[in-house]
Chain A
Amino acid sequence: MVSGIGQAAKTPHYINTSFFDGLHGRSLPAAIAIKASNPELTVIVESGDGCTYGEGGNHFINAIRRNADITTIVHDNMVYGLTKGQASPTSRRGFTTPVQVAGVNLEPFNPIAVAVALNASFVARAFAGDIEKTKEIIKSAITHKGYALIDVFQQCVSFNRLNTFKWYRDHSYYLDASYDPHDREEAFKKAVESEKFPLGIIYINNKNPTFEENLAVYKDNREPLFKRSVDYRKLEQLMEDKRA
């Protein structure tokens, strides 16, 4: 596992697994590198909305574009919890805090729409109040080949009195069985719904190869990088060429 900074980013500390704590917002580059260095590993990034979409927004965009076969779980509580209650990128307009005293007046960041716009490989939204369904979505994301994003609606009981457990429940619904997540235009329509937010697998794109599949180092040799050694004979030849 790889995580950033924040409450959600502490998740790996409570799990018996190998993990790497990246810089604030910068967990995705490390996760991509871990997967690229050893494609046999299952790599999961876990962090919050502030870390992933704000601090690491550029990495989020480029992680989707790279399409490494990793899963990102974002605990989206629409507030900065670690710093005790300021606006986050996903805070709703009008949300008041001790800093945003007149209410947030920025357009909320829409991770689902951004991911669909970037033709992400797997895009889903879950609600932490529903453990069974959330578990199924996480399993689908991990087993999916390609970059998978799960935005998890999860209330902050300490610093968000607007987006409460009840608010998330009242403002979301599950996509039904007739919904086809392979249709990008339909997915985009779902992504921009804002009265009630759709839950479930919103978009799947199986068409693009993964980041690791495109790496030349694995073309003829599947061994992870740490098992390989330097070819000094080739290096010597390269140096000899510099005499001519």
Chain B
Amino acid sequence: MFNQKDISIVLSGEAGQGIQTVERLLLRLFKLSGLHVFSYSEFMSRIRGGNNSTEIRVSSERVNSFCERIDVFVSLHEGAMERHYDRISHKTVIIGDPAHIDSRFRDGNHTLIEIPLRDTAKLVGGPIFTNIIIVGIIASAFHLDMAFVRDKLKSFFTKATDDILSKNITAAEKGFSMGNDLFPARRIDLKLSMSDQAKGELLLNGADAIGMGGIAGGCNFVSSYPMSPSTEVLVFFAKHAEKFGIIVEQAEDEICSAGISW
């Protein structure tokens, strides 16, 4: 079904639902499995509600850009498909709880993988675990090793209590086993060839790259008025300020931040 070298996954959920956690986790799982990744997020200026989405391109070769095409669409709330309507084609594999699939796609021309995500999450411990069920489903579709996923979950959720960690692992296992049942039955196989080279690559986001470049260039004074997407750069510098001898100051307004970095 997928004969291209890269697969584009879009996760679409509500702000505050934890899509960024899924994104970070999936990127790490793919990269450490030996696949190249590129991701791009879109978020509304909202703390909760609204629609946030992230596109992850996974490939056997290096990927350097966003793409319009969506190969796998994960719908995580009612209305999650609306903003991406034009990008979803009859070739897109649509994954989601039946309640989160837009009826316009039930026309027989689209590939729907309907999963009782909400009920399964409830069984595990609550709607918050939906995200990790999705991680399990995607890991299965890409033929990742479940023992490897389990291991990486442990190193990813270092601050979680034992109870939360074990529920996250259960959620991933449930997703993985649902994926193992559903994808072969629908003849969907997203296996990509993996390489040791990708495993050893740096996994960087734009803010990390800017921050590291800044340090390398001798930056020792940072001031900023927070707003996405630059906040991440400010956060990077604040985190590493003491270690690298950098003064970091949140300015009272943007003009101050320009003036104070004289």
- Residues of B contacting A228 in the complex (Cβ-Cβ under 8 angstroms): 220, 245
Q: How far is the CB of A221 from chain B (nearest CB, A)?
A: 7
B218 and A230: CB pair below 8 A?
yes
- Residues of A contacting B255 in the complex (Cβ-Cβ under 8 angstroms): 23, 26, 29
Majority-rule SS of A interface residues: helix
A-to-B contact residues, CB < 8 Å: 20, 22-23, 26, 29-30, 32-34, 36-37, 58-59, 61-62, 215-217, 219, 221, 225, 228-232, 234-235, 238-239, 242-244
- Residues of A contacting B249 in the complex (Cβ-Cβ under 8 angstroms): 36
Q: Which of B217-248 contact A (CB under 8 A)?
A: 218, 220-221, 223, 240-247
Given A228-B245, A232-B216, CB of A33 within 8 Å of CB of B202: no
Tally of chain B residues near chain A (CB < 8 A): 33
Does B204 touch A at the CB level, under 8 Å? yes
A26 and B247: CB pair below 8 A?
no
Q: How far is the CB of B194 from chain A (nearest CB, A)?
A: 16
B260 and A217: CB pair below 8 A?
no
B245 and A225: CB pair below 8 A?
yes
Q: How far is the CB of B96 from chain A (nearest CB, A)?
A: 32
Q: Which of B245, B251, B260 sits near A221, CB closer than 8 Å? A: B245
Q: How far is the CB of B149 from chain A (nearest CB, A)?
A: 16
Q: How far is the CB of B24 from chain A (nearest CB, A)?
A: 12
Closest to B220 in A: A225
Known: A26-B255, A229-B218. 20 other contacts (CB 8 A): A23-B255, A23-B259, A26-B259, A29-B260, A29-B262, A30-B260, A33-B221, A33-B262, A36-B221, A37-B220, A217-B241, A217-B246, A219-B242, A225-B221, A230-B216, A235-B215, A235-B216, A238-B215, A239-B202, A243-B202
